[in-house]
Chain A
Amino acid sequence: MGYEEDLEAYRSQLLQSLSNPLSRSVSGVLDPIQVYINERRVGELEGAGMDATLHVQSLDHIETIQLRTEDGTLLGGLVAPEYGYRTSRVQLSSDAVELCVHNTAQGGSLNAVFVSKPSFWSRIGKTFADVADRLAIRRPDAAIAHSMRTVAFTQALLAVMVVGLVLDRVATWMGPEQMLTSGVQPEALRTVSVTDMEKLEQQVGALARMQEKVGEALQSQQNSMAQLHQTMAKLSSSHESVASRVVMVKEEMEKRQESPGPETDRTTPHPVGRGVVDQEQLEMAIRSLTEDNAKLSREVASLEERNQTLTAKLHTASVNASKAVDPNPERLLATQGDVARKNQSLQVAESRQNSQMQPFLFWVTFSEGTSQESIDQWVHEKKGHKGSINEGWQEVQIVPPAVPPDLFLEQIRGEKIVKAARIRE
């Protein structure tokens, strides 16, 4: 086989394995999922377990996260933002892993939660049972039981309401039949049944509306439960991390006694400090959980909402930040003038690259009386994200437009809800 053929065969082989989507789909993950941060292995998620969690705190910034099977198949991952939060859900056939990464000036942290496929309610039950078990070990009179009862009670109440509705409905339908069997004249029967039918229709209409309401209530209850579930998962993960750190600290202490080397000095202070802090946070979290279920749900819901806005806002920023790290991969090459470029189209693409890497920022004011909703809608249509507001000017970040900035601004100004637009603050 010649040089060229050999190389071409290798290239085709690589392309084939890259284009084979089967290699990335997993049927029922039973083995632990390996978690990598910045291409370093940091731990694993027990795939077979229910809602396994992994919490990792790193002194370095987190750049990338990867999930792999034991045979090395890359299941999913994400690129972390320079600063702030980022969440992502990696779907693995019927299961999923939820990733939440947070970068600050002090370092990064990752929370990975394995969400298994069993039904929603059994998952909730299991999570509550798990958390209750764990907490019971720490505090026999765990106040968590109170809020769990509240949840159960609300469910029971809803069930009673549904049963009540069904009975009501049966009774309503029973009405005319009893009239039929009571032996009235056929003439009278018709007149009676016409008016009764109208009544009946009204009753059915009212019933339908009530049922709808109950459906909505059930839905919102379910949402609250989902949010509670998330809080519980977070809580149990921080609990686990405390436990694992305690073990780690113990190991470190033992190691230290054995050999007081400089290696161990480096790591010991962090786990201790963090462990204590986490434990305090956990205590506080438990205390706050004892509050009323409804209140908690509302709080979580609003938090969730804010988080979503934040995530959305950070989304563009992070994409652009990661792009901005090294906007020109040719940087290294630029120093050498005589580099032969073989690929023409690469050249074209790269020359445009610099201008298009940065997020495009502009400021805009809206026509009098424009509602927040239509502003949000407008920003959404632009696939943009809102930034700060300064003296009525709203900052908007978008992926660089295909047209030149001036032309783009002209287009924007032409839009109905826009009063004015400019590039500088």
Chain B
Amino acid sequence: MQNTVSKSQVMADHTVTVSRLEEVVSTSDEFDRVVSQALPVLLDRATGYTKRFLRETGQWNDDIEHEKFALRWGSEYLERFLVCGRSEVPCRPLFLFDSLVAKQHSKPEPFCYHPDLLRPLGRFLDGLVARAVVSRDALIALYRHSYGWGAGEVIAVTGLNGLESQRIYKNFRRWRESGWQRTMDEIGLTKTELVELASQQQRHRQRFNGEAERLIRVAQAHYRKSEPDHYPCLSRAQWREMFTQGYGCDYRIWHLALCLDCMQTAWGLGSSGSLTEEKPRLELLVRP
């Protein structure tokens, strides 16, 4: 009985919130106020849309992995809405939100979906590479998690100059301090899952890294689309040219982090001679 009462109360609150979101807001501050009071409603709404999109496109399954995937993207859309929506006033927040989500879902591949990317290892890799697209810290950390390198090795491999090197150290530090944990929270990897990943790797090192390489290729191919248009894969001669002439610093950093093949192609062109012996293989590091 009590449960029924509280449920109907929740329903009533929900209706009030939704109708407030349907009204016009005129200023950015008002937008912030109204929207910040309705985060749960908006998150559920975006998650609902994402679920339906997955169902529609035959990518849905009734399990916790899919539920988490929908939640993660729902929250991603909501974050963008919070920041971009405030410049859209006057508007009716609810409809603006719906149209932003609809716009995302009308893109050819709104997110990186692959059933294998929904299991813990896949989620870890997908989350990592997705984060690298929006965060330079995460991008640099990809070198660490993929090949186990420290800042000095990253600088040597990508052939950076002094000024750029300073940034790499900063990227490493921030990632260790907060970036990694934040990314794990974002993709919803629990402590238990992380421990399980590490133990899997210990037990079957080769199989684990082989599987990781297969999955990271899927994620890289999808997220490389976030690179500037003029960053395609290059031949070894082209990479050499870039390294020796010293241009394309950004190109090197971005593309090599997100392309296993080019990393092997361009191997040894950087400044460090000691690294030139054997081409790098994926050796996944779970922790930073």
A17 x B186 contact (CB < 8 A) = yes
B247 to chain A, nearest CB (A): 6
Q: B106 on the interface (CB 8 Å rule)?
A: yes
A19 x B68 contact (CB < 8 A) = no
Instruction: Please tell me which one of the listed residues B67, B99, B238 contacts residue A322 in the complex, with CB atoms under 8 A apart.
Output: B99
B96 x A71 contact (CB < 8 A) = no
Residues of B within 8 A of A267 (CB): 229-230
- How many A-B contacts at CB < 8 Å in the complex? 192
Instruction: Please tell me which one of the listed residues A42, A74, A339 contacts residue B52 in the complex, with CB atoms under 8 A apart.
Output: A339
CA distance in complex: A356, B96 (Å): 11
B134 x A326 contact (CB < 8 A) = no
Instruction: Please tell me which one of the listed residues B40, B90, B136 contacts residue A34 in the complex, with CB atoms under 8 A apart.
Output: B136
Which residues of chain B (87-108) have a CB below 8 Å from chain A?
87-88, 90-92, 94-96, 98-103, 105-106
Q: A70-B174, A74-B80, A323-B95 are in contact. Are A328 and B87 (CB under 8 A)?
A: no
Q: B216 on the interface (CB 8 Å rule)?
A: no
A346 x B83 contact (CB < 8 A) = no
Give per-residue flags for A1-31: 1 if the beta carbon is below 8 A from chain B beta carbons, else 0: 1010011001101110111000010000001
Which of the 9-residue segments A122-130, A140-148, A254-262 touches chain B? A254-262
Residues of A within 8 A of B221 (CB): none
A332 x B103 contact (CB < 8 A) = no
Which residues of chain A (43-75) have a CB below 8 Å from chain B?
63-64, 66, 68, 70-72, 74-75
CA distance in complex: A346, B49 (Å): 10
Q: A41-B227, A72-B137 are in contact. Are A31 and B167 (CB under 8 A)?
A: yes
Instruction: Please tell me which one of the listed residues B78, B80, B138, B230 contacts residue A66 in the complex, with CB atoms under 8 A apart.
Output: B80
B179 x A41 contact (CB < 8 A) = no
Instruction: Please tell me which one of the listed residues B43, B94, B230 contacts residue A18 in the complex, with CB atoms under 8 A apart.
Output: B43
A102 to chain B, nearest CB (A): 16
A71 x B137 contact (CB < 8 A) = yes
Instruction: Please tell me which one of the listed residues A63, A72, A348, A383 contacts residue B138 in the complex, with CB atoms under 8 A apart.
Output: A72
Interface core residue of B52, B170, B186 (most chain A CB under 10 Å): B52
Q: What are the nearest 3 A-B pairs in CB distance?
A: A72-B135, A329-B102, A326-B102
> What would be 6 A-B contacts, judged by CB atoms less than 8 Å apart?
A10-B71, A40-B226, A322-B100, A325-B106, A332-B105, A399-B24
